[in-house]
Amino acid sequence: MSLSAIQSRLLTACQAAGRDPATLTLIAVSKVQPLDRVRAVLDEGHRVFGENYVQEAAGKWPDLRAEFGPVQVHMIGPLQTNKAKLAVDLFDAIHTLDRPSLATKLANLAQARGGSPDLFIQINTGEEPQKAGVLPGDADAFIAEARRLDLPVKGLMCIPPEDEPSPPHFAALAAIAARNGLAGLSMGMSSDFEAAIAAGATHIRVGSAIFGARTYA
């Protein structure tokens, strides 16, 4: 696969769903990818990327932004509270607001800096014990609390369980967003982004299908 192959599948999926492709953001997930692959996708003109690790992103994107100009970088991995300051200075959006202590920390930082990256609240739709995210039953209260803190909550994010079909999880996330008046839906990865587009995703997070398999050192 490649960027152009994914873009054409994205357009086909939008057409099938009767959706305007302008309502959809493709986040190219570049975590642990070799720099030459990331540069190749930048050279093709793509300007929206996703990263999972604050430290890795901090070592990569300041230089790439200096070289290529403005690039949106979205944080899609778990965020430790002690990395929150680095994260708000680096990222345009954080998709993994998942607990009250992080909400408080981000609110304090937003007040001190006079602004915050766009935020998505991660929902653990599969209620998996090992996975981050707010439980579906706690979602409405958590969204209300984040709003009370004046956080710029744009939408919700989920990672469906690996061993289950994704569409019911996408539908569940969309239902929570709709009843809370949230427009953003960050859902869909390499293996299921077309189903996510059909279910109303506004942000799909596609890594290996664009860059090739990740090799962890």
**Residues contributing to the site for ligand PLP (CB under 6 A):** 29, 31, 52, 76-77, 159, 189-190, 205-209
CB nearer to ligand PLP: give 98 or 110: 98
In the complex, minimum distance from the CB of residue 107 to ligand PLP, in angstroms, rounded to a whole number: 23
CB nearer to ligand PLP: give 72 or 208: 208
Is-contact 201 184, C-beta < 8 A?
no
CB nearer to ligand PLP: give 97 or 209: 209
In the complex, minimum distance from the CB of residue 148 to ligand PLP, in angstroms, rounded to a whole number: 27
* Cα–Cα–Cα angle for 78, 172, 203, rounded to 5 degrees: 55
Is-contact 29 23, C-beta < 8 A?
no
- Asked whether the CA dihedral 57, 60, 63, 64 is positive or negative, the reply is negative
In the complex, minimum distance from the CB of residue 122 to ligand PLP, in angstroms, rounded to a whole number: 9
Cβ-closest position to ligand PLP: 207
- Within 10 angstroms of residue 157's Cβ, the number of other Cβ atoms is 27
CB nearer to ligand PLP: give 20 or 163: 163
Helices (H), 21-80: 35-43, 54-68
In the complex, minimum distance from the CB of residue 37 to ligand PLP, in angstroms, rounded to a whole number: 12
Q: How many CA atoms lie within 13 A of 214 on its CB side?
A: 13
